[in-house]
Amino acid sequence: QVQLQESGPGLVKPSETLSLTCTVSGGSISSSYWTWVRQPAGKGLEWIGRIYTSGSTNYNPSLKSRVTMSVDTSKNQFSLKLSSVTAADTAVYYCARARDITSDAFDIWGQGTMVTVSS
């Protein structure tokens, strides 16, 4: 079955760029579209954006100026870059799959990776 695994640095300095990759295993990345969600400690879920395997993206306007998502179908991976990070970007970052192209329901999630922004 399809599994997702986030990877990337757990510590990022303020003003630098957070970079995460999500690797899709057990299935094709072309089967759906993919999203990033984050969750600060003890708080709720925030949608960051989504990417289709065509490369088309939609970002949360609250982060749009700092977010870039990309996809590498040859590696079955998609990525997130968040620039000019501050302590407010400290969170667990999840990648997830939409269950089908007609619903933004996320049926498969990575385990999440904790990213701390600190000098």
Q: Per rule CB under 8 A, is residue 94 in the interface with another protein? A: yes
Tell me: does residue 86 bind another protein (CB under 8 A): no
Structure letter (DSSP) for residue 31: G
Contact flag: residue 62 with another protein (CB under 8 A): yes
* Of 60, 68, 73, 76, the one binding another protein by CB under 8 A: 60
Half-sphere exposure of 45 (CA within 13 A, CB side): 10
Asked if residue 35 lies in contact with residue 95, where contact means CB atoms within 8 angstroms, the answer is yes
Pairing of strands 18-25, 3-7: antiparallel
Q: In angstroms, how far is the first alpha carbon of the chain from the final one?
A: 39
Examine residue 61 and tell whether it contacts another protein (CB under 8 A).
yes
Of residues 85, 110, 115, 117, which one binds another protein by CB under 8 A? 110
Residues in contact with another protein by the rule CB under 8 A:
35, 37, 44-47, 58-62, 94, 96, 99, 103-107, 109-112
